[in-house]
A and B are shown apart, each in its own frame.
Chain A
Amino acid sequence: MSAVVTTQLAERRSSLLVTVLAFAAPVIFVLVPLAIFLVYSFFSVDQGTIVYAPTLGNYVRFFTDPIFLPVFWNTIVLCVSVAVICILLAYPAAYFLTTLRGRWRYALLMLLLVPLLMSYVIKIYAIRSILGLNGFLNKALVAIGILQQPSTLFVFNMNAILLTLSLLLIPFAILPIFLSLERIPQTLLRASDDLGASGLQTFLRITLPLSLPGVASAASFVFVLAIGDFLTPQMVGGTSGFTFGRILYSQFGTAYNWPFGAALSVALAIVVICAILIGERFGRSRGTSV
């Protein structure tokens, strides 16, 4: 009798342990660092040492200094643009994939996702050489006759960041869109045809709305990855391509102001959380069952 009770207790204790661990891992590895940042953002720095006295100074500086808010805003606009470009390029690609039959579909999907396996830095170098003054893009544009001479339009500036981020992040947009397109039952499309809809009408009224959840996930995915990236702007942005990520990075590096960097991180985290929530809200499909 008591043996049974003890084993039951032991079982309950071990299942409790699993539950605690399952919740503890994200708490320790995600929430605790965030909390530490939040705490640090209320400290200040004096002569290179951190002063552990609570102050709102960092936030006041963020909102009043004429540098930070505009860069913050421009970075958000940049990342929204990256998300839009990625969606516009990824949607046709994903759609094309779903029109393929059987093996080809997944073979090509894998091929499109291969860049994800490559080193991030190498990819940036590769894209930089394409975008450069003597790069492939300029040479091609001159060869076709669109440009008279190589242009500096996308060399070490905001445009370069936009293009590079878009190219790097497209695979992240293709996957969710492809999955949502693939989930649309073929009979719905046939039913639409059967009811007299043209191919375009079927696409606009059935396929597109039913794939929007995938588009929303893709957009929030790309946006979050873009806004957190400081390496790409650093490498292809030159001096004019200044993003929030770079400022943030410099606070932990050259400027050596961790509390202020922490305050900037908190601002960034708020934007990221909003983006994820918006993506989640629209990513939920309405009535999924047929």
Chain B
Amino acid sequence: MNQNPDLLTLRSVSKSYGTVAVLHDIDLSIRDGEFLTVLGPSGSGKTTVLRLIGGLEPLTTGDIRLDGQDISRMPINKRPFNTVFQDYALFPHMTVSGNVGYGLSVRHVQRKEIARRVAEALELVQLGRFADRFPAQLSGGQRQRVALARALICRPRLILLDEPLAALDLELRRQMQEFLKSIQREIKTTFLFVTHDQEEAIGMADRICVMQAGHIRQLGTPHELYYKPNCEFVARFFGENNLVAGKLGPVQGEQRPIETALGRLICSITDQPHLKAAPEGASAFAAFRPEALHLADATDGDNRFSGIIADLAFAGSSTVATIKAGADNAAQRLRLRTPSRIGGSALRSGETVALSFAPHEGHLVLA
């Protein structure tokens, strides 16, 4: 989909503070012009990755290449990247235009040119009227935009954003997400955006890099991550998922069965060579989304099992049923999501039902 060349490459980068390893052998390529989101739970090392790239911390091992050139040892003020800090880090003694023009004035750009580009940048973030205010006189969302304007005025090759929206309330956050995305499209600069919020990641990113405990677990488009998680962590972390443990059966073309407590489940393995290569009997999970699970009818032959509806929760546009299935209808908890209907759900709490999901909507994840 994206044929752009790599802008920045991290090769077996690791980072330790003293004896504590925080990043383990990270490999990551960032493509020119993309919106790449680093997603992971708190403490997974997202900020550290950003700080290494920005030059705020030295690497322990490995290297970082920009256009193929090693920049691991380039000092922070020489790197053509700019950061939008989590707490904005605006200079309190300078006005909005002083803040925004700072990156140019320390490079001794001419006054006139600075004024022109500051006006341009403030226009872009829709803060033209606030040029002479001090940061203390701005709201959170406005400060956020000043920080963004300050970062992009230097025309960096890469803009690093560390959870820039975390401090904003939900409504403002939504607006800023769209706003950031539209600015990124407009200036065509590469964004590396850190967040722990998967919804935010899905909504904004061209590609998502999922991190956990100092490792990159998966890198791919939101669609790939959602439908083809490559490990249990991603399958569980990324959206709601039903995971059923079992042992792999023999490969059958683009599909492969797995023997589970719910019986034999057939799942798709299209474009996932590592699942084709996995030995028979290997431990794995069948993974299928709550919206893929449905009440079975006569046409459903495969992946058919029974369960008891333990709970029904109305969630606006959809209704979520919690189902107990497997041995004695207790071994396995599943979720089923159906569109809500005005007459109420066809499901009844306590009812025993036959359930199914289509093989092409089921996926396998190695344990």
Residues of A within 8 A of B (CB): 185, 187-188, 190-198, 201, 205-206, 209-210, 285-290
> Which chain A residues lie closer than 8 Å to B150 at the CB level?
195
Judge whether B92 and A194 touch: CB under 8 Å.
Answer: no
Query: Size band of the B side of the interface?
Result: 20 to 34
Q: List 7 A-B contacts (CB under 8 A).
A: A185-B89, A191-B89, A194-B82, A195-B102, A286-B92, A287-B92, A290-B89
Additional 20 contacts, C-beta under 8 A, given A196-B103, A209-B93: A187-B89, A190-B76, A191-B89, A193-B56, A194-B54, A194-B56, A195-B103, A195-B150, A196-B154, A197-B77, A197-B102, A198-B77, A287-B134, A287-B136, A287-B137, A288-B92, A289-B92, A289-B135, A290-B88, A290-B135
CA distance A197 to B150 in the complex (A): 13
Cβ-based interface call for B206 (8 A)? no
> Which chain B residues lie closer than 8 Å to A191 at the CB level?
83, 85, 89-91
Given the contacts A191-B83, A194-B76, A290 and B90 also touching, CB distance less than 8 Å: yes
> Which chain B residues lie closer than 8 Å to A185 at the CB level?
87, 89
CA distance A257 to B50 in the complex (A): 73
Would you give the shortest CB distance from B229 to chain A, in whole angstroms?
A: 35
Cβ-based interface call for B106 (8 A)? yes
CA distance A210 to B107 in the complex (A): 21
Taken residue by residue from 62 to 97, chain B's Cβ proximity to chain A (1 for < 8 Å, 0 otherwise) reads as 000000000000001110011101011111110000
Residues of B within 8 A of A (CB): 54-56, 76-78, 81-83, 85, 87-93, 102-103, 106-107, 134-137, 150-151, 154
> Which chain B residues lie closer than 8 Å to A287 at the CB level?
92-93, 134-137
Task: Give the contacting residue for A194; candidates B77, B87, B136, B137; CB below 8 A.
Answer: B77
> Which chain B residues lie closer than 8 Å to A288 at the CB level?
92, 136
Judge whether A195 and B92 touch: CB under 8 Å.
Answer: no
Nearest-neighbor residue (CB-CB) of A206 within chain B = B91
CA distance A192 to B92 in the complex (A): 12
Judge whether B92 and A196 touch: CB under 8 Å.
Answer: no
Judge whether A192 and B102 touch: CB under 8 Å.
Answer: yes
CA distance A194 to B153 in the complex (A): 13
Q: Find the residue from B77, B85, B87 having the highest chain A CB count within 10 A.
A: B77
Given the contacts A194-B83, A198-B106, A286 and B93 also touching, CB distance less than 8 Å: yes
CA distance A205 to B134 in the complex (A): 16
Would you give the shortest CB distance from B140 to chain A, in whole angstroms?
A: 11
Nearest-neighbor residue (CB-CB) of A286 within chain B = B93
Given the contacts A187-B87, A194-B54, A206-B91, A286 and B106 also touching, CB distance less than 8 Å: no
Instruction: Give the 5 A-B CB pairs with smallest separation, nearest first.
Output: A287-B136, A195-B103, A191-B89, A287-B134, A197-B106
> Which chain A residues lie closer than 8 Å to B134 at the CB level?
286-287
CA distance A185 to B106 in the complex (A): 20
Would you give the shortest CB distance from B274 to chain A, in whole angstroms?
A: 40
Given the contacts A187-B87, A289-B136, A196 and B93 also touching, CB distance less than 8 Å: no
Judge whether B102 and A187 touch: CB under 8 Å.
Answer: no
> Which chain B residues lie closer than 8 Å to A289 at the CB level?
92, 135-136
CA distance A192 to B99 in the complex (A): 10
Would you give the shortest CB distance from B133 to chain A, in whole angstroms?
A: 9
CA distance A286 to B94 in the complex (A): 9
Nearest-neighbor residue (CB-CB) of B95 within chain A = A287
> Which chain A residues lie closer than 8 Å to B78 at the CB level?
196
> Which chain A residues lie closer than 8 Å to B56 at the CB level?
190, 193-194
CA distance A290 to B92 in the complex (A): 5
> Which chain B residues lie closer than 8 Å to A196 at the CB level?
77-78, 103, 106-107, 154
Task: Give the contacting residue for A193; candidates B77, B87, B90, B154; CB below 8 A.
Answer: B77
> Which chain A residues lie closer than 8 Å to B77 at the CB level?
193-198
Nearest-neighbor residue (CB-CB) of B75 within chain A = A193
> Which chain B residues lie closer than 8 Å to A198 at the CB level?
77, 106
> Which chain A residues lie closer than 8 Å to B83 at the CB level?
191, 194
Nearest-neighbor residue (CB-CB) of B90 within chain A = A290
Judge whether B89 and A210 touch: CB under 8 Å.
Answer: no
CA distance A206 to B93 in the complex (A): 8
Would you give the shortest CB distance from A226 to chain B, in whole angstroms?
A: 29
> Which chain B residues lie closer than 8 Å to A197 at the CB level?
77, 102, 106
